[in-house]
Amino acid sequence: GAGVSQSPSNKVTEKGKDVELRCDPISGHTALYWYRQSLGQGLEFLIYFQGNSAPDKSGLPSDRFSAERTGGSVSTLTIQRTQQEDSAVYLCASSLRQATTEAFFGQGTRLTVV
């Protein structure tokens, strides 16, 4: 596809379960970002990948959160032992290179922890 693709679009999970969220960036984009958006809130930075460099994980809220990017393309955000406060929309974005200003966002995954 032409844009950033995220799956699933919606996910309902029980408290304590693990979840995996997937992001397919735009082909050729070397930078990939994960953000979290809670109801009525702005975008909270989680993690940033740039090429083969070590990712910037400074925004991950706890060690229950992790992310990987395989082959410089698809990324998976994993949340272990989910809590109700993890309920939010998880947004992925990609950009052509580190210095560019335009990051293209996906539609997000709406996660609900019950």
Rule CB under 8 A: which residues touch another protein? 4, 31, 33, 35, 40-45, 48, 50, 56, 58-59, 91, 93, 97-108
Nearer to another protein, 28 or 40 (CB): 40
CB of 30 to another protein, least distance (A): 11
Q: Least CB distance from residue 98 to another protein, whole Å?
A: 4
- What minimum distance in Å lies between the beta carbon of 89 and another protein? 9
Which residues have CB under 8 Å from 31's CB, separation 6+? 48, 49, 50, 51, 94, 95, 96, 97, 98, 100, 103
